[in-house]
Chain A
Amino acid sequence: MAVVTEFQKAAYVAGQAADARVNVEIEAEGMTLNIGPQHPATHGTLRIVVRLDGEQVVWAEPVCGYMHRGYEKLTEVRTYPQVTTLVNRIDWLGSFANEVPFILAAEKLMDVEAPPRAQWIRTALFELGRLANITLFLGDMGVQLGALTPVFYAFRDREHVLNLIEAATGGRFHPNYDRIGGLKEDLPKGWVTEVKSAMSRIRTFCDEMEDLLVGNEIFETRTRGIGLVPAAVGLEYGLSGANIRASGVDWDIRRDEDSPLAWKHCDWKVWTHPDGDCFARYWVRLQEVREATKIVEQLLDGLPSGPIQAKVPRIIKVPAGEAWVHTDNPLGEMGYYVVSKGGLGPFRTKIRTPSFSNISILPWLLRGVYVPDVITILASLYFILGDIDR
């Protein structure tokens, strides 16, 4: 018989209370509207309960967990090489970026370091994952605002990036290419030249988006001044990545922290925007895509030669210890806290996903806005459901 701790009891009571809060259908006045869990704007199964006064939101609360897949618990019953294939599926659009911090954490525990060539290729693929992810956002934001066309351009040009990832790793969405101490195999011949042409395509796509959306007066009226996040509030709620950079906070883990990955060898810029509204978030991400194409090109130009795999035992056992590694993923700060007791798999893994923290600001942010702005704000915060619920 399992012992129920006081903490678990308290958590249960709190959960019941939260359920009761969102399940109240009709209160004194206004209308309670469930946006989701099956709603086109929540790209997945996020449920947002809003109370409306006319079209104005009086109160909002996001309810997540409809797609909880239990990855933190699953990692405890999997070996280290098996975990990478699981964590691929957390943020399914930029999936390569998910496996990197986990592998880095495992390498930190084992005290091995992948050879430089492997680190450079990792970084390049990391940025390709960012491209695949944010390109889709650039189009998707248009759809959420009613413009159907941009998302098709996004799908069209993301295809080039996905093809590159597939050509190198074998998987379009789930690369599973990182190994502890290196990579699965080296790049195929001719890959670098293909990447160059794809990068220029992505830059053309950015120009197109600038003409089609950013410069569009309707888009500006819909996004300027909507969903304003002051830097202090954003930091309090734990916003990260482009969301906080759009509020003027100049913070990028890729640049500010020392990591074995190869960003420090590249010349690139962290873009910020002072406004903190939906437009700023879109604009910052657009610039990020451009920077990412530059990073990829520089990395491949200076790709060092040599091995791609450090010496590791065939059966990987990680010594006991704890490690925390975070990186600046397409959606924001993603980190893994891995606790090992010396077994074949982690004893405990805590996954810090950016989307979960990013949507926690919603109750604060949605108060007083109109229903269409709810959608704009959701789109501009840019979450991936798998990244919220894990």
Chain B
Amino acid sequence: MTAALHLAYWQTTTIKVLVVMGVIPLGALVLAYVFLLKMMSHMQSRLGPMEAGPHGVLQLLADAGKFLQKEDVFPERADRAVFALAPVVVLMSAFLLYVVIPAGPRLTVSNLDTGVFFALAVSSLSVLGVLMAGWSSANKYSLIGALRAAGQLIAYELPLVLGVVGVVIQAGTMSLQGIVQAQAHGALLGFKTLGEPYILPQALGFVLFIVGAQAELTQTPFDMPLAETELVAGYMVEYTGFRFLFFFMAEFGTAFAFAAIGATLFLGGWYVPGVHGTAADVLGPFVLGAKIMLVSFFIFWFRFTYPRFREDQLQAVAWKYLIPLALVNILVTGLLKVVV
């Protein structure tokens, strides 16, 4: 910890937990407002919510208030315990993602040596919650949605992980903090001052990561588990009130976390050229925030433009194109690493 401030372990832990608990709803709110409400509306040549607050900034708070007031409905034949637990599991996986994301040289909950591995592992925890939700709802649509989700998330975990492996090889570490440092100290074509954001050497990895993240987040074109027009809302069909709010928050919280991981892995995370030390700690969160917005812009841009695949086509895309591409990417990166 810092030289000036000596806090006990429990104190730092409490602060970290509080910050993470604050960041998730905030991140989810910001993403949902900026992209879901505003960007999507303007892409469809409408204005979106305008009444709650200036330009509708308070709309989501009003929605949250509405959700909290709603009756907590359980379907008659639902498995009550599992049904109640499922949204919590999904939200939990979103929370755990934030543990390893660095927002500055020292601003991180826990700088695990296996940071990337940890993040991708806990992100797939949400599948469990989705399966629980789909099964316990006692609804055929939910069940189909949950099974699709399981199949899809397993298929896309692979290109996601393999796409990231290129970065890990190039940085030589699995720690997210280490990857940021490696990008900061890297040299792109001999220029040392700017560092080396891995989006340039790992462009293919970045594309794979975005596609994989899109599928992990079950966003169009990979939103079959939800598929409003086919499965109504997939595994979420039977949820109302604050349990639905949990799913909603988890969806955007995870999107925020994935954008953060993408920004960290490929855009240099909190690093901005020329800023070091304590200044980087102060500036870091803002820089990271801006980069997150950039990555999420792309994620949501695809979401609002494309139609969705069919389940079997999605599997075909993953196994026939993305995974071989990722393997080639790893091969080339490894060869260059050895040669250079």
Contact = CB atoms under 8 A, between A and B. Distances in A.
Q: Do chains A and B touch in the complex (CB under 8 A)?
A: yes
Interface of A: 31, 33, 39-41, 55, 142-149, 152-153, 156, 212-213, 216, 218-219, 221-222, 370-375
A216 B139 CA distance: 33
29 contacts: A31-B140, A33-B140, A33-B141, A40-B228, A40-B229, A142-B307, A144-B229, A146-B220, A147-B306, A148-B40, A148-B220, A149-B40, A149-B43, A149-B44, A152-B44, A152-B45, A153-B45, A156-B45, A216-B307, A218-B306, A221-B313, A222-B307, A222-B308, A222-B310, A370-B310, A371-B230, A371-B231, A372-B310, A375-B229
Contact of A213 (B46, B229, B307, B311): B307
Nearest to A143: B229
Contacts of B107: none
A212 B229 contact: no
Residue from the set B44, B307, B313 with the largest chain A CB neighbour count within 10 Å: B307
B221 interface: yes
A212 B45 CA distance: 15
A39 B230 CA distance: 8
Contacts of A145: 229, 307-308
Nearest to A372: B310
Nearest to A226: B310
Given A146-B223, A147-B305, 7 more contacts: A146-B227, A148-B40, A149-B304, A216-B306, A216-B307, A371-B144, A373-B310
Interface of B: 40, 43-46, 140-141, 144, 220-221, 223-224, 227-232, 304-313
A213 B44 CA distance: 14
A218 B308 contact: yes
A147 B307 CA distance: 4
A213 B307 CA distance: 8
A371 B306 CA distance: 19
Q: 4 tightest A-B contacts by CB?
A: A146-B308, A152-B44, A145-B307, A147-B307
A345 B134 CA distance: 55
Nearest to A219: B307
Contacts of A39: 232
Contact of B44 (A148, A219, A221): A148
A366 to B, nearest CB: 13
Contacts of B220: 146-148
Contact of A372 (B46, B140, B221, B227): B227
A238 to B, nearest CB: 27
A152 B230 contact: no
A277 to B, nearest CB: 14
Contacts of B227: 146, 372
Contacts, number: 79
Contacts of B309: 218, 221-222
B35 to A, nearest CB: 13
Contacts of A152: 44-46
A5 B104 CA distance: 86
Nearest to A156: B45
Nearest to A141: B307
Contacts of A219: 307
A339 to B, nearest CB: 41
Contact of B229 (A33, A146, A156, A221): A146
A384 B310 CA distance: 25
Given A41-B229, A152-B44, A146 B310 contact: no
Contact of B307 (A31, A156, A218): A218
Nearest to A213: B307
A152 B305 CA distance: 12
Residue from the set B46, B223, B305 with the largest chain A CB neighbour count within 10 Å: B305
Nearest to B141: A33
A378 to B, nearest CB: 9
Contacts of A143: 229
Contacts of B312: 370
Contacts of A221: 309-310, 313
A372 B212 CA distance: 21
Nearest to A145: B307
Given A372-B227, A372-B310, A372-B311, A146 B221 contact: yes
A389 B48 CA distance: 35
A122 B245 CA distance: 52
Contact of A212 (B141, B221, B305): B305
A53 to B, nearest CB: 12
Contacts of A147: 220, 305-308
B302 to A, nearest CB: 10
A55 B144 contact: yes
A372 B230 contact: yes
B221 A218 contact: yes
Residue from the set A144, A146, A371, A372 with the largest chain B CB neighbour count within 10 Å: A146
Contacts of B311: 55, 370, 372
A152 B41 CA distance: 9
Contacts of A149: 40, 43-44, 304-305
Contacts of A148: 40, 44, 220, 304
Contacts of A31: 140
A39 B140 CA distance: 13
A145 B140 CA distance: 20
Nearest to B45: A156
A370 B313 CA distance: 11
Nearest to A39: B232
A142 to B, nearest CB: 6
B148 to A, nearest CB: 8
A213 to B, nearest CB: 7
Contacts of B223: 146
A222 B224 CA distance: 13
B44 A153 contact: yes
Nearest to A157: B45
B230 A375 contact: yes
B305 to A, nearest CB: 6
